[in-house]
Structure 1
């Protein structure tokens, strides 16, 4: 067991093996089996359509890559930071490392010096695999600068188009090659990959996942989605993200013998063209991307999306009004997904009633998933009431990597993970996500759920998307600030209209926005989630005491003219660029 990893108790591990959840199959071995089964079927397709790799060719490619890495001293148990865009090379690198018993440590292409340095230090990585030119950011130059500051330099491999002359210690990935050697004897119970925590308020934590538990996750989700050899998956989100990597995503599609198509951007003009060209049957996106795609559909995109059957939406709350538009406007079946790289996944199912698909995030994918909904003291709340989600199961971690102090807070004594998500269970066991414990505005002692208010604001026909953050206030402590993106071609509604809407929908006055900021687009994180940290910083700067402010009113006054609209000033949209989306 790798130092810094928290193991499952032996009796629990034995139970999961006996039940067949864990089969003792290392991830690197699975690709060889798939190559035998699916042979010359296409496995991977690059965004340009020119890079097409069959299962058998992918298997050979990974064998030679593994030999090349081994010749450069990378062996079992060592960590390698993998920071690549959505290309076939990403899959080949991961499986080459799996076969060596080395562990990929995922980093997003949008990560910069602070995140990369943190991940290299935390993981103890011996190598870093990064993109070459063409991403909109000079990763090589950044790595040279970082290397000069590090006491222990790592090997750097450059994928894609590499500069003609690479710095010392850098190698073009295309030159990593060797005659295949016998694969390492890998214990599937050991850690196989490090995923990233999804938090945006601090540097990411590392999530150790075993070969066994991740293979099980991919199998069970592929089964629920009904994947087969005719399935074509479009990888829109960054491939290092758990959602597209294995829910069922890339690995689940390969398990079923299907084809994975890579997109370099979530923009509808690129993705719709890929759907039409490659006859894509399903994909997974987040609500931010749904907004983009629905806007394109409303304006007439001219592409044939008839092959697309299933749209998975997860990673952030999908409000009912937005969910209801997906089927009629995009012509696809919606599957709501709630999950975390730490483990637990819940899906709606194909045979669920329409109201379940529109209003809930489904039920756990595994019969062995355990869920508690608890109050702040850890006591279970009655069915139907909101509380914190606690969970454990055959693919949910027992501890973050090298984080003993955080683990003491994040896990119960009996191994349940405290997710920080506020949820409730319906009478028939469906999960409904109500928000995050920390995603609240504490207004004069009253707690306002940002997620709740956002959902109601989105019901206004002139609002495409809304995000609510806390605005510092010397009297109330915090007030409610709503950022809105107007619907395409529509004027932004005045705050008075938004407040009337929220009152009509039954919200208490203390939940109404004290200020509204109108922006063309939201800043996004590397995972294309709304970057609320950037929005909160923007409104804090605008309302700082040294700058003029427009005061809001108390919680029981009308306040229909309180606050200001206008532009978000320093907030800029990060979405749409290849760098953030890849």
Structure 2
């Protein structure tokens, strides 16, 4: 196995056999070039094309390159060298994109962190990754330094920023198989994990999946609603580098402002998590959305109600993307008309081969349910500073154990059932919350729903359905929701939630998904305070 070591001693080892990586390059699935070299090809071919549209205006490819080279000079002046990890804590916009490119130009490794994370989370990630530098907004520098930053902190804006001469990259380029970016899991179910990706895995495997999302002959214009620092949001920089896209970003999500951005900037791809898309679809602002060719949903299960709302509002197909930071991707872009809850589409070998396996790692026949494994050009190198996760989730041969439960149909379509790690273990019986969420989301009185486990001294755990009632409708009773699950959807009484917590809104994490950790704490406190309905065993 090939390994790379940073100056700070961080070791990143590729868990995929080198012969497999070489085969993917031979087949044309990976470009075999580093990210900055690929970007320069775009600059030379269309320097005046819009590259980034943000709250400050528009930046073309030539201007973005100049900004990136000046940023690279700033980083080099602060000691950043090849293979150093640079943590980035910035809202989306031109500075973030230029910084991404600058890090790639230096052959360093980007560690983007969603701005919504707490200072303690940020410092923990910086320390675990042995980052050489943390780049953030001037307004946050003093607070982070006071909290004991384990690395130097650099302001990219405000009084601490300066404009050095542009940096001219050396002729020696990073190995395309070497580390380029560290992606974070959402951390919605616990502490976020870090996963290292190579230049080829980002531009190749991830680039192939991004290309399949876009319909039409011209380069895509992508309205990215999620943070570019998230795993899902990384498709923004990939679209720009690999496909010559125009990236439209906003500092924070607002459904009305997002709709206005569609009318004003004419994106072809609308990219967001289902919660965001749902809020846009229900918004009363009337705008022209005819520029859209595709609506892309990922980051959380896409329920029937949200799918139907989006199709009615945007009059465009909704592509459901199944993917994770660990290195798996599958989507419905090629068969949007055959959508169904849990349908993840047909695996693309240019992105990732999918296999469904039993607990011993043996492939299962079509139709049988097991753990989803993945291996392909987008497969990452390894987990960062977590060898125990590599031992658990990266078996021999480079495969990734996703921790997700699914099945492959006889027609090759992947269906995702639930996360193996997102379960409720009630008295030794494993319950899967996604099934309850799918069914409850179809109830007209339920606006949003997320199920979490709550501790129980007798059975270990019980399931709590956290529900945001539909505005303007009478809030359904807990008994009504149980009847809906049992009578309308035929659910076994053993699979029904035993607590229902009604909330005015569900808490969201930094990536825009429901924060399961926060919600679990809220549900646990409500159960202890006896403020849920159906408390106890309804059976």
Q: Same fold (TM over 0.5)?
A: yes
User: For residue 215 of structure 1, what is the aligned residue in structure 2?
Assistant: 203
Q: CA deviation at 1:309?
A: 2.1
* Matches of 2:79 and 2:180, distance apart in 1: 18
**What is the deviation of 1:424?**
1.4
Report the equivalent of 1:123. Answer: 129
Secondary structure at the counterpart of residue 319 of structure 2: strand
Taking the aligned partners of 1:468 and 1:423, their CA distance within structure 2 comes to: 19
1:154 aligns with 2:129: no
Change (3 A) 1:112 1:17: same
**Distance in 2 (alpha carbons) for counterparts of 1:441 and 1:113:** 31
Change over 3 Å in CA distance of 1:358–1:276 after alignment to 2:
farther
Contact 2:208-2:351 at 8 Å conserved across structures: no
**SS of corresponding position for 1:5:** strand
**Are the aligned partners of 1:441 and 1:479 in contact in 2 as well (CA < 8 Å)?**
yes
**Contact residue 398 and residue 417 of structure 1 kept, 8 A:** no
User: How many angstroms apart in 1 are the aligned matches of 2:40 and 2:351?
Assistant: 29
Report the CA distance between 1:507 and its aligned residue. 0.1
Distance 1:199 1:329 in 2: 31
For residues 34-72 of structure 1, give each alpha carbon's deviation from its aligned partner in whole angstroms, at most 9, with x where no partner exists: 0111111111111x3x43111111112212221232223
Shift in alpha-carbon separation, 1:538–1:68, aligned structure 2, 3 A: closer
1:180 deviation in Å? 3.1
Q: What is aligned with 1:243? A: 232
Segments of 5+ residues of structure 1 without an aligned counterpart are: 134-138, 165-170, 558-582
Equivalent runs, 1:259-408 vs 2, <5 Å: 259-296=246-283, 300-350=284-334, 352=335, 354-356=337-339, 360-367=343-350, 369-408=352-391
Q: C-alpha distance in 2, partners of 1:398/1:67?
A: 28
Q: Are the equivalent residues in 2 in contact too, given 1:384–1:424 (CA < 8 A)? A: yes
Residues 64-108 of structure 1: per-residue CA shift (max 9 Å, x gap)? 221232223211111110111111111101111111111111111
Measure the CA separation in 1 of the matches of 2:116 and 2:412: 37
Which of 450, 456, 476 is the matching residue for 1:473?
Answer: 456
Q: How many residues align?
A: 528
CA distance in 1 between counterparts of 2:493 and 2:340 reads 30
Per the TM alignment, residue 445 of structure 1 is displaced from its structure 2 partner at its CA by: 2.7
Change (3 A) 1:514 1:179: closer
* Structure 1 position 21, deviation (Å): 2.4
Q: How far apart are the structure 2 equivalents of 1:508 and 1:256?
A: 48
Distance 1:182 1:509, change over 3 A: closer
Name which of structure 1's ranges 368-377 and 207-216 shifts more when overlaid on structure 2: 368-377
2:536 and 2:501 map into 1 onto residues whose CA distance is 17
Query: Of the candidates 80, 90, 115, which is equivalent to residue 84 of structure 1?
Result: 90
Would you say 1:429 and 2:417 are equivalent positions? no
More deviation, 525-534/320-329: 320-329
Residue 255 (structure 1) aligned with residue 242 (structure 2): yes
In structure 2, relative to structure 1, the CA distance for the partners of 1:328 and 1:36 (3 Å cut) is same
Relative to the length of structure 2, the TM-score reads 0.92
Deviation at 1:224, TM superposition (A): 1.2
2:143 is matched with: 142
Q: After superposition, give the CA deviation of every residue in 1:171-210 in whole Å (9 maximum; x if it has no partner).
A: 32xx142243343532112111111123333332221111
Structure 1 residues 436-471: Cα deviation after superposition (integer angstroms, max 9, x where no partner): 112222223322210000110111111111111122
* Distance 1:21-1:218 versus aligned 2 partners, 3 A rule: same
> Contact 1:344/1:364 (CA < 8 Å) preserved in 2?
no
Asked if the contact 2:328–2:379 (Cα under 8 Å) also holds between the matched residues in 1, the reply is yes
Q: Which runs of 5+ in 2 are unaligned?
A: 6-10
Distance in 2 (CA, whole Å) between partners of 1:234 and 1:105 is 22
Whether contact under 8 Å (2:203, 2:241) holds in the other structure is no
Deviation at 1:230, TM superposition (A): 4.8
Q: 2-side partners of 1:126 and 1:80: how far apart?
A: 6
